[in-house]
A and B are shown apart, each in its own frame.
Chain A
Amino acid sequence: MAGEKVLSLRGLTVDFATPDGWVQAVRGVDLDVARGETVALVGESGSGKSQTMMAIMGLLASNGRAGGSALYRGQEMIGLPERRLNRIRGEKITMIFQEPMTSLDPLYRIGRQIAEPILHHRGGSRAAARQRVLELLELVGIPQPERRIDSYPHELSGGQRQRVMIAMALANDPDILIADEPTTALDVTIQAQILTLLAELQEKIGMAIVFITHDLGIVRRLADRVYVMKTGEVVEQGETGPLFAAPTHPYTRMLLEAEPTGRKAPPNPEAPRLLSGRDIGVHFSLGRSWGGEEALLKAVDGVSVTLRRKQTIGIVGESGSGKSTLGRALLRLLPASGSLEFKNQDISHADRARMRPLRRQLQLVFQDPFGSLSPRMTVGQVITEGLIVHEKDLSKSERDRRAIAAMREVGLDPAMRNRYPHEFSGGQRQRIAIARALILKPEVMVLDEPTSALDRSVQKQIVDLLRDLQEAHDLSYIFISHDLAVVRAMADYIIVMRHGQIVEEGPAEEIFEAPRAAYTQALLAAAVDNRRFRTAVQEAAK
């Protein structure tokens, strides 16, 4: 390891007080960061990678406590009084967060928010600070900084907000920049831009970057050294190249191989059509100006889809492309124009009562396994709710039996059905959500980003589960995702959407091997860029 150490952790621990006693989140982490290098902290959710850095910054939740030692240039940070800590954090060690939507204060112009740390740590006049802010905005590549400096956060896109966050973090020429999943909430094309920006900035300014992420593609592109964390401990560390080429710890190997694999064969072309929509449009009113025209947001604009039995249609697009809206419109959960047919039955104008018997055949699984289960119901109640509606005369014990069967099918222990959703992990919750849909024996399932909120290894399990279920029950899926790797493993037909319209559609192989539209090509390029090495590594491992 070359260069002087700027940060060195020895035996760092983090504990949280819970009603059941202290829970250890970080169990003795040793970590060094040298000047100007990029260190990645990799691990799945709950591995303690974020809490390690939060402990250094003194940002633990009120029931948390940190132990061990964290030296910044010889200065102990753990247990440092807040006033002295403030001289280091925000000036010498700064942080950017995952969620650019919420880490900026919506009430202040961005110029003022960036100037605040400058004025606080350096003093000086407002005019000088403003000059510095303009430089910073220029540096992070915000177009027209003179105009943007007076914008409010909501006027910027997600990528631009993350750039503003980076500008804030760089305001005082920090030694260390801690980036906590800075690109996870962004679309792939924006992600690539932000990562490139960070790499460029490091070259120019020379600060060290501590990168907290679960995405190994990013690690490969950016990091000099990697620490792999699992349940609060560092299980493996080393230079990026050698570590990825020859991982020694099984957990690292598992992370590297956790990409969903396999392809789905297209269904029999003669298979009956189940659900088809023609010229579907969903428009939201943005309000009407006085005496003027009504402003419309065309979330979905003239889209046609045909789903056959046992087919999986992948709908791909970045945020705001209308893919989720289309999924809901196909289930008639949103008022939409155009015509909709289910099993040769026109349901374009079916009302709630007429849709009700069809609902059991048309199911929906959501992205967020934390939000889609009612927190006040037990898992058993959640899973059997559909039965109460659609098979009213089932006895209680019969319902329970069905719940047990459904839970077994999705790989959950039926003994856990009296627990509450918050006691389950993300992957388990997603299994619960699938069981809830499955218990009704549906024919069509719309899967709205069912794997996006999950860790890679769990994603793989869920994808395998969904594929097995499709085989076993002849299900047809509409699979909505922005994650091309997952879509590729799931779908036999792809629809690429942008701004509410179809950019390109066709069999999966065709789209992935020979994309015609420029947008599809860009999308694939951005994703593959992050991923190319991984196949190479896997190849090398064989």
Chain B
Amino acid sequence: MTEHVLSEQVEEPASLGAGRSLWQDAWLRLRSNRAAVASALVLLLLALAGFIGPWLVPHSYDQIYPQYVRVPASLEAYPKQDRIVPDFQSALERARITIGDVELSGSVVRAPVSDDEPLDPRITRYVDRSDLFDNARLQDADGNPLAEGASSGFMVADVQRLRFLFGTDANGRDLLARILIGIRISLAIGLLASFMALALGVTYGAIAGYFGGRIDNVMMRVVDVLYSLPFIFFVILLVVFFGRSFVLIFIAIGFTEWLDMARIVRGQTLTIKRQEYVQAAEAMGVSSAGILKRHVIPNTLGPVVVFVTLLVPKAILLESLLSFLGLGVQEPLTSLGLLIAEGASNMRGAAWLLLYPAVTLTVILFALNFLGDGLRDALDPKDR
């Protein structure tokens, strides 16, 4: 009962005087930065595209269309109009029957066929065998199934219309679907690796910086040693031991990127440690863990948030590098880096294979960098 009465007394003034925290201030500043807001929207759209896009695209990222290898990007549906009639004719010619004029209406092709003998219904297989046509059937003039023993009628088949907005790759897979899945993988690796670097780096750096002295020395020398490991060598080692996998990539990237984070946070901590509010907490007898949790880490977060937004594109680039070198994700799964690598090897004949993934990656990186810049200005307006 008393508890209740007390909390009621408390509620009232609280609503009167809710203040604006530094985070809210930063948010207001960020919102007035058009480039940053636009970048955030672009990122949101791309993230949505990566997340739900693959379900909306009619093709699966690993479905192969052998007859459509390396077709260029086009708004028109495949097969192209001018290819349907000759293909239909050549398919029918194999049946050794007499063919009249082929007519195309919508997604249905129709040709009068006749023969000296009664038409064998099995000749539809010649048409079905082609990847362009489906559901081939023999009909009479009224569109009813052809009566048995008739020697003339119409061969009708549905045309499978496929759209490849971004074209297909060298294996005949839809590039759009692959780019969407690539966005998903790249963003996921970027975020996960950055998160890992964040968690490791902030904890490690704050502890080293706060305790200082010998602890700091030992901890930072460990960082120096890890720094001296060549990244690619480290990744190759990991791949050799554990095999190629998605998890391994972000672990590898996170494991190398947390070193920068640890150094940044340690530097920040060294200056924060000398702030009077930390000394005040010490004088009050707050434990080291309490000081780290309540004072040091929240006050390092400004620069850390900025670094993370710049770390995400870095992680995406590193993943691209690994995939480009063949150490990254495995086919048929793909990432933007892998797509660019494939595009690079097909550059001459099929420029779109390089162009679309590269543009996507560039847009992502631009947006992340703009957002990072905006965040820095918002969180640290003094530095402008």
Nearest A residue to B297 via CB reads A376
Contact B384 A374 (CB under 8 A): no
A372–B281 CA distance with the chains assembled, in angstroms? 9
Q: Report how far A26 CA is from B22 CA in the complex, Å.
A: 26
Per a CB cutoff under 8 Å, which of A364, A377, A423 touches B279?
Answer: A364
Instruction: State which residues 309-347 of A face B: CB under 8 Å.
Output: 331, 333
Assembled-state Cα–Cα distance A436/B286 (Å):
13
Stretch at the interface among A189-197, A246-254, A382-390: A382-390
Instruction: Select the stretch in A409-417, A457-465, A515-523 that faces chain B.
Output: A409-417
Binds A, one of B11-19, B47-55, B175-183: B11-19
Q: Which of B17, B23, B284 has the most CB atoms of chain A within a 10 A radius of its CB? A: B284
The docked-state distance in angstroms from the alpha carbon of A401 to that of B16 is 17
User: Which chain A positions have C-beta within 8 A of B16?
Assistant: 415
Q: Tell whether, in the assembled complex, residue A364 and residue B280 are in contact, meaning their CB atoms are under 8 Å apart.
A: yes
Tell me, yes or no, whether A55 is within 8 Å of chain B by CB: no
**B283→A362 contact, CB < 8 A:** yes
Does B277 contact A440, Cβ atoms closer than 8 Å?
A: no
Take A19-B28, A374-B299 as given contacts and tell me if A414 and B283 are in contact as well, using a CB distance cutoff of 8 Å.
Answer: no
Task: Give bound CA distance, A398 to B294, whole Å.
Answer: 20
- Residues 275-292 of B contacting A (Cβ, < 8 Å): 275-277, 279-287, 290
A378 to chain B, nearest CB (A): 7
Bound Cα distance A14, B372 (Å): 32
Chain B, residue nearest A365 (CB): B280
Q: Is residue B7 contacting chain A, with contact meaning CB distance below 8 A?
A: yes
| CB-defined contacts of B3 to chain A, threshold 8 Å | 395, 397
Query: Residues of B within 8 Å of A, CB-based: how many?
Result: 37
**Is B276 a contact of A368 with CB atoms below 8 Å?**
yes
Interface string of B349-384 (1 = CB under 8 A from A): 000000000000000000000000000000000001
Whether the Cβ atoms of B384 and A420 lie closer than 8 Å is no
Q: CB within 8 A of B285: which of A19, A356, A415, A423? A: A356
Whether the Cβ atoms of A359 and B284 lie closer than 8 Å is yes
User: Is A88 among interface residues, defined by CB-CB distance under 8 A?
Assistant: no
Q: Once the chains bind, are B283 and A363 in contact (CB under 8 Å)?
A: yes
**B17 — which chain A residues lie within 8 A by C-beta?**
413, 415-419
Instruction: Known A19-B25, A395-B3; judge A371-B285 contact (CB<8 A).
Output: no
Across the interface, do B285 and A366 meet the contact criterion of CB distance under 8 Å? no
B382 to A, closest residue via Cβ: A61
**Residue from the list B18, B276, B286 in contact with A385, Cβ < 8 A:** B286
**Which of A333, A404, A423 meets B283, CB within 8 Å?**
A333
Contacts of A379 in B (CB 8 A): 19
Closest to A422 in B: B22
| Cα-based distance from A415 to B18 in the complex (angstroms) | 9
- Report the separation of the CA atoms of residues A159 and B216 in the bound assembly, to the nearest whole angstrom: 37
Q: A433 within 8 Å of B by Cβ?
A: yes
A352 to B: closest C-beta gap in Å: 8
Given contacts A355-B285, A419-B19, contact A371 B6 (CB under 8 A): no
| Given known A-B contacts A19-B29, A388-B290, A419-B19, A375 and B284 have beta carbons under 8 A apart | no
Give the chain B neighbours of A440 by CB distance below 8 A.
Answer: 284
Q: Is the CB of A423 within 8 A of B20?
A: yes
Q: What B residues does A389 contact at CB under 8 A?
A: 284-287, 290
Check: A102 CB closer than 8 A to any chain B CB.
no
Question: Which residue of B is nearest A368, CB measured?
Answer: B276
Q: Are A377's CB and B294's CB within 8 A?
A: yes
Question: In the docked arrangement, what's the CA distance between A189 and B3, Å?
Answer: 58
**Contact among A367, A374, A397 for B295, CB-based, below 8 A:** A374
Complex CA–CA separation, A358 to B282 (angstroms) = 12
* Alpha-carbon gap, A417 to B13, bound state (A): 9
Partner of B22 from A362, A376, A388, A416 at Cβ < 8 Å = A376
Closest to B19 in A: A419
Chain B contacts of A397 at CB under 8 A?
3, 6-7, 10
Q: Mark B23-46, 1 if CB is under 8 A from A, else 0.
A: 101001100100000000000000
Are A418 and B14 in contact, CB atoms less than 8 angstroms apart?
Answer: yes
A116 within 8 A of B: no
Give the docked Cα–Cα distance between A375 and B242 (Å): 46
- Cβ-defined partner of A331 (8 Å) among B10, B283, B287: B283
Measured between alpha carbons, how far is A505 from B288 in the docked complex, in Å? 38
Q: Report the bound CA distance from A376 to B25 in whole Å.
A: 12
Q: Does B21 contact A (CB under 8 A)?
A: yes
Per the bound structure, the CA–CA distance linking A357 and B19 in Å amounts to: 33
Distance from B25 Cβ to chain A, minimum over Cβ atoms (Å): 7
Asked if B283 and A364 make an inter-chain contact with CB atoms under 8 angstroms apart, the answer reads yes
Report chain A residues within 8 Å CB of B281. 374, 385
Bound form: Cα–Cα A371–B301 in Å: 17
Query: When the two chains form their complex, are residues A62 and B384 in contact, meaning their CB atoms are under 8 A apart?
Result: yes
| A363 and B285 alpha carbons, distance in the complex (Å) | 10
Cβ contact of A420, chosen from B14, B22, B280, B284, cutoff 8 A: B22
A360 lies within 8 A of chain B by Cβ:
yes
Known A-B contacts A19-B25, A397-B3; A433 and B14 likewise in contact (beta carbons under 8 Å): no
Contacts of B32 in A (CB 8 A): 19
Complex Cα spacing A363 to B281, Å: 10
A136 contacts chain B at the CB level, 8 A cutoff: no
Contacting residues, chain A, for B20 (C-beta < 8 A): 419-420, 423
Q: Please measure, in the bound complex, the distance between the C-alpha atom of A357 and the C-alpha atom of B3, giving whole angstroms.
A: 28
Q: CA of A420 to CA of B22 in the docked complex: distance in angstroms? A: 8
Check if B29 sits within 8 Å of A372, measured CB to CB.
no
Contact B280 A433 (CB under 8 A): yes
The distance from the CB of B23 to the nearest CB of chain A, in whole angstroms, is: 8
Q: Is the beta-carbon distance between A400 and B299 smaller than 8 angstroms?
A: no
- Is residue A373 contacting chain B, with contact meaning CB distance below 8 A? yes
Residues of A within 8 A of B287 (CB): 356, 389
Pairwise interchain contact A363-B284, C-beta atoms closer than 8 A: yes
**Contact at A375–B22, with CB atoms within 8 Å?**
yes
B280 contacts across to A, CB distance below 8 A: 364, 366, 372, 433, 436
Tell whether B298 is near chain A: CB-to-CB under 8 Å.
yes
Take A371-B275, A415-B13, A436-B280 as given contacts and tell me if A385 and B294 are in contact as well, using a CB distance cutoff of 8 Å: yes
* Known A374-B298, A374-B299, A376-B301; 19 more pairs at CB < 8 Å: A333-B282, A357-B285, A362-B283, A366-B279, A368-B276, A371-B277, A372-B277, A372-B279, A374-B281, A378-B21, A386-B284, A389-B284, A390-B284, A397-B6, A398-B6, A400-B10, A415-B14, A419-B19, A436-B280
Closest 10 CB pairs of A and B: A419-B19, A359-B285, A415-B13, A372-B276, A364-B283, A376-B298, A415-B17, A374-B277, A371-B276, A356-B285
- Would you give 7 A-B contacts (Cβ < 8 Å), ordered by A? A331-B283, A359-B284, A372-B275, A378-B19, A418-B14, A419-B17, A423-B20
Q: A: which residues have CB within 8 A of B?
A: 19, 62, 331, 333, 355-360, 362-364, 366-368, 371-379, 382, 385-386, 388-390, 395, 397-398, 400-401, 404, 413-420, 422-423, 433, 436, 440
